[in-house]
Structure 1
Amino acid sequence: MEVWIGRQGERHGPYQEEQVREWLRSGQLSRDDLGWYEGLADWQPLSVLFPQDKPAPANPYAPPPLQQQAASVSFGYAGFWQRFSAWFIDLIILMIPSMIVMYLLGGMQAYDHLREQLQGGADMSAAFRDYAAATETSSLVSLVITFFYYTFFEASKWQATPGKLALRLRVTDVNGQRITLGRSAARNLVRLSALIFGLIPIICYLAVAWTQRKQGLHDLWASTFVLHGTAQEQPPQRPPSGSDHSRFTA
């Protein structure tokens, strides 16, 4: 059974029933949070839906709750090859709109002209300069598409591009939460700048191999992490104390 969670007027999920029960037992979900699954007429508190699942009694020797742990190893930082593989999947996806843009803006004609020049014995450096000038606009449009692709996907409810989703990764802030659109834009400005200078994936991704929390240059700049597990596999963020759960509507 799949269960939706309601908090602060937002709907999260769906999550598997056993996952929700486990989060209730561990205290990662409040029994006052609202829940709904197919067949229910209306949203109900989780204490009503799962009355037997209660947090364990407090243990004075237990470690701090998950909400108080900042970027712990339980998050599982994604390594270099995982992130490189996700980048490669995204690269393949982005080739589709890039090729369409190149075709519409005369890129194919520019390529045919380059080939004719090379076959005719023209100066190679001059031929490539002409090609670069002819495809400058399409290259710029492709850069803009790439920037918005990463920025919006990583700030979305999925917290990941399709490439990251395929490898079950997500982008978070230092507290393991979804990043804002502004932070995502700042993160990807570094990626865009590196791409302009032809340094991707070197400058952004090689740092992942030696930084303690597997952060690339763009992660260090924007204070972000790339973690194992999709956003849909994580409990929704606990709202500030005093929030009125009863205002949630589907």
Structure 2
Amino acid sequence: MDVTYDGKDHNELSSPAEVSRQESAPGVEYAFAGFWVRFWAFLLDGIVVGSINRLVVSPVFSLLNLPKESGFFTFSLYSVTTAIVFFAYFAVMTKFFRQTLGKMVFGLQVVSLTPEKGLTWDVIFFREIIGRYINSLYITYIIVAFLPKKQGLHDFFADTAVVHEKLYRKK
């Protein structure tokens, strides 16, 4: 029942169907997800987070007559709240499902490259909060296209990768 996605055997499968598929196909490993499929998943996640903010956060601020604007070079309570929703969405979805809604649609999953550590809260925090904050210059995501394991900076820091759930390649 071991899975290979980085040259090592790991026991990190999410369903019995994947276990049987992996056992019936020895000599294969998960295929790493490239730039474009991750881009489209992230774009879909942006739509989800924006919708949550517009359907939940914005009406709450309107009902409580809280300002949504801020002065020059200062943060408003609204911008801080929407940022918390953004980071919380990615952290909670990745921790509990190993994928966000965008990744679910495109059949992607976050895996740890250090299976003994797994996707613990500290790994998730480092990947989804600190890594995404560092990647706030979206141009840095382009490195996904050029690295062998298709890792972004946030993946590199957390020692994780994004793989296709049902796509394998020969070792």
TM over 0.5: yes
**Structure 1: how far apart are the matches of 2:66 and 2:73?**
12
**Pairing partner for 1:75 from 27, 30, 34:** 30
**Pairing partner for 1:173 from 112, 120, 129:** 112
**Structure 2: how far apart are the matches of 1:24 and 1:215?**
26
SS of alignment partner, residue 229 of structure 1: strand
Aligned twin of 1:90:
45
**Structure 1: how far apart are the matches of 2:71 and 2:139?**
27
Per chain length, whose mean CA-contact separation is higher, i.e. which structure has more relative contact order (CA < 8 Å, sep 6+)? 2
**Structure 1: how far apart are the matches of 2:100 and 2:119?**
13
What is the correspondence of 1:119-198 to structure 2 with a 5 Å cutoff? 130=71, 136-156=76-96, 158-174=97-113, 179-194=119-134, 198=136
**Pairing partner for 1:101 from 53, 57, 82:** 57
Deviations 1:22-58 (A, max 9, x none): 55556xxxxxxxxxxxxxxxxxxxxxxxxxxxxxxxx
CA separation of 1:155 and 1:109: change in aligned 2, threshold 3 A? closer
Aligned twin of 2:5:
none
CA separation of 1:212 and 1:25: change in aligned 2, threshold 3 A? closer
**Pairing partner for 1:15 from 11, 14, 17:** 17
Give the unaligned 5+ runs of structure 1: 1-11, 27-64, 67-72, 112-127, 235-250
Aligned twin of 2:10:
none
TM-superposed CA distance for 1:176, in Å, is 6.8
**Structure 2: how far apart are the matches of 1:85 and 1:91?**
10
Deviations 1:157-187 (A, max 9, x none): x310010010000000115795222201110
**Structure 2: how far apart are the matches of 1:192 and 1:174?**
18
Give the unaligned 5+ runs of structure 2: 1-13
Computed over aligned residues only, the root mean square deviation of the Cα atoms, in angstroms, reads 3.4
Deviations 1:228-249 (A, max 9, x none): 116xx99xxxxxxxxxxxxxxx
Structure number, greater radius of gyration: 1
Runs of 4+ in 1 over 3 A off after TM superposition: 22-26, 106-111, 128-133, 175-178
